Structure 1
Amino acid sequence: MTLEVALAEFLTHLGLERNASDKTVKSYREDLTQALGFARERLKQGSVAPADWTTRLLRAFVAWLHEQSYAKSTIARRLAAVRSFGKYLCRQGVLQQNPALALRGPRLEKKLPHFLTVADVQKLLAAPDASAWAGSRDRALLETLYSAGLRVSELVGLDLADADLNDGVVVVRGKGKKERLALLGPAAVSAIQAWLPERAALLQRAGADSPAVFLNKDGGRLTARSVGRLLTGYLRLAGLDPRTSPHTLRHSFATHLLDAGADIRGVQELLGHKSLNTTQVYTHVTTQRLQDSYRKAHPRS
């Protein structure tokens, strides 16, 4: 078996058995296709055999990525993909040992997530003109993003059947198609309830039928790209940081909860994080803010 054939099987395994999202499978495909392309060129062969997949070859691949001036984060992702592929090949009996385990990735700088202050979030949520159908929808979706701490893919994937507005909960399908319950505050519930009659009228005008909560002008499901575009407009309108993305509202949700004393494991569950380490980055944000305040205010700091 060539590693090109093994890659096709690995990608199928990710999608069907591991429930990886299409985006995750696409990333693995791109990363590993590049690694195999490098190997073929270096070995001057039409395909890569398991015996060719050595630590020495993979070390040369990582060095080449550095020479091509790839970002450290990209190199780390490529290396993680190669490690996962090696682990799979060992489980399948194609390799005896994973040659990627001996490789060290680049040291990544810890970037603290960008977030909005509570006052800035209030400005943003007030920006849509809720008297128009599009503004009513946009107010509801921004309130939902912030109130529930959703990923934008989770937001646009919401169906009416997923929402229980009486109890203020929604069923969310997150990474790896895992389901979790997310909470909606009174402001988000109220905004969605105001949007629903507009949504029904829109479907009637468009002669369309859709289970999605958030719709475009033609009655179809709103896309993640559309949410990004409309957010850009409201940021400009509210005079807020243009670096803000839909994911910033998720960062803001977590940071504000921890600032207010929420339990980190509860926040982890609400965010749908598999590992507590992923959630802990937000504790660094709140700690840094405390330190900044201390340095500014304490007479002996």
Structure 2
Amino acid sequence: MTPDHARQIQTFLQANAAETDAARNTQLAYARDLTDFAGWVETRGREMMQAERADIEDYLVACDAQGLSRATRARRLSAIRQLYRFAFEENWRADNPALQIKGPGKDKRLPKTLTIAEVDRLIEAAQRPGRDQIRDTCLMQLLYATGMRVSELVGLPVSAARGDPRMLLVRGKGGKERMVPLSPPARSALADWLTRRDAMVQAQNQKTGAPPSWFLFPSHSREGHLTRHRFYAMIKTLAVAGGIDPGRVTPHTLRHAFATHLLAGGADLRAIQTMLGHADISTTEIYTHVLEDRLRDLVLDHHPLARRRGTA
């Protein structure tokens, strides 16, 4: 495998681990799958970032010819899809060649989520006195109030938060922008953090003479803002402090909780799609599992035959 391919795969795996909290075995499987795919592409004299849809389809045919199981082929396509989605987001290439490829299929698993009480405990843990209390409270309130992806949250420009906004402008995948509403607790936490942040940035600038950071959550990282890895570690610490199994809590879990709790409360699926930044409504429809209990209760409470049966 070429050094460029190795670097691209490693960069993707690190970002994927921070955002999705995939199990170590899954990460290792993705590494093996993508290494195999990269080697196959190289036999065609191509670079991974130059591969087209036909190349990926031919690779899947070759996997089938090798006798690989349906589950293995589905996992390999999943890894390839995620790699090219990441490549598109990072501007490594201008499209995602795997986007429209249909795989062998596998059962859909419901996303991991948290109860409202568990989210409350995470936020309460962030509010406990400490050096980063104001920042962590703001991060948690914003994440749960908006359902942002962690990369969108940590990369927010400070300009988006000025003026006590009721809505935040978020730049999502592919540079697409969307507006997300802020809850009163999120607005309050944001105002507190802005005051604290501006004082810290001003003191740092006076000390070093560096220009002011334009990020809402500045740091000394290479990116200039709080990293996804640092946020991942923070949320695990809050889970422990809140008495929740840290294995169940990731930044993406809070995004799932946002969507699940909104839908359970009666929100429109299309509105949730817009707030999550999903390009396709089918991606959002996985959350409809939460409607089952609510719809059953509606029938039992309001259908005339159900009422008659209950009073018979």
> TM-score surpassing 0.5?
yes
Which residue identity does 1:156 align to in structure 2?
A: V
Amino acid at match of 1:215: P
1:224 aligns with 2:228: yes
Identity %: 37
For residues 33-48 of structure 1, the aligned pairs below 5 Å read: 34-35=36-37, 37-38=39-40
Alignment of 1:232-271 (within 5 A): 232-242=236-246, 243-271=248-276
Does structure 2 retain, via aligned residues, the 8 Å contact 1:65–1:75? no
Match of 2:169 in 1: 171
- The aligned length equals 251
Letter of the aligned partner of 2:156 in structure 1? L
Q: One-letter code of the match for 1:223?
A: T
Q: Which residue does 1:202 correspond to in 2?
A: 200
Task: Say if 1:202 and 1:217, in contact at 8 Å, map to a contact too.
Answer: no
1:160 aligns with 2:161: no
Q: Alignment partner of 1:127: what SS?
A: helix
Contact 1:116 1:252 in 2 (8 A): yes
The alpha-carbon deviation at position 260 of structure 1 amounts to 0.6
What SS is found at the alignment partner of 1:227?
Answer: helix
Deviation at 1:53, TM superposition (A): 6.3
Using the TM superposition, name which of 218-227 and 106-115 deviates more: 218-227
**Higher relative CO (CA 8 A, sep ≥ 6), structure 1 or 2?**
2
Query: Structure 1 residues 130, 105: CA separation in 2 closer, same or farther (over 3 Å shift)?
Result: same
Distance in 2 between residues matched to 1:47 and 1:234, nearest whole Å: 45
| Letter in structure 1 aligned against 2:110 | L
Matched residues in 2 for 1:65 and 1:132: separation? 56
Q: Could you list the per-position Cα deviations for residues 258-284 of structure 1 after superposition, in whole angstroms to 9, with x for gaps in the alignment?
A: 101011111111111111101110002
CA distance in 2, matches of 1:134, 1:65: 53
Segment of structure 1 superposing worse, 67-76 or 154-163: 67-76
- Relative to structure 1, is the Cα distance of residues 137 and 104 closer, same or farther in structure 2, using a 3 angstrom cutoff? closer
Quote the Cα distance in structure 2 between the aligned partners of 1:192 and 1:70: 45
1:109 match: secondary structure = coil
Q: Tell me the distance in 2 between the aligned counterparts of 1:62 and 1:79.
A: 18
Alpha-carbon distance in structure 2 between the residues aligned to 1:204 and 1:79: 43
Q: Distance in 2 between matches of 1:65 and 1:166?
A: 59
- 1:256 & 1:54 partners in 2: Cα distance? 37
Q: Compare 177-186 and 61-70 and name the one that shifted more.
A: 61-70
Q: Give 5+ residue unaligned stretches, structure 1.
A: 1-7, 9-22, 25-29, 83-97
For 1:279, the equivalent position in structure 2 comes to 284
Cα gap change, 1:137 to 1:71, in 2 (>3 Å): farther
Query: 1:127-159 deviations in whole A, cap 9, x for unaligned?
Result: 024544411100000100000110001001101
Gaps of 5+ in 2: 6-14, 17-31, 85-96, 300-305
Q: Shift of residue 234 of structure 1?
A: 0.3
The one-character-per-residue Cα deviations of 1:4-25 (angstroms, maximum 9, x if unpaired) are xxxx9xxxxxxxxxxxxxx89x
State the Cα deviation string for residues 190-238 of structure 1 (Å, max 9, x = none): 0111111221222234335211111337894101111100000000000
Superposed CA RMSD:
4.2
Contact preservation (8 Å) 1:113, 1:285: no
TM-score by length of 1: 0.68
Structure 1 letter corresponding to 2:171: R
Higher mean displacement: 126-135 or 216-225: 216-225
The structure-2 alpha-carbon separation of the partners of 1:35 and 1:171, relative to structure 1 and needing over 3 Å to count, comes to: same
1:74 aligned residue:
76
Distance of 1:81 and 1:222 partners within structure 2: 23
Indicate how the Cα distance of structure 1 residues 57 and 109 shifts in structure 2: closer, same or farther if over 3 A, else same: closer
Name whichever of 255-264 and 58-67 sits farther off: 58-67
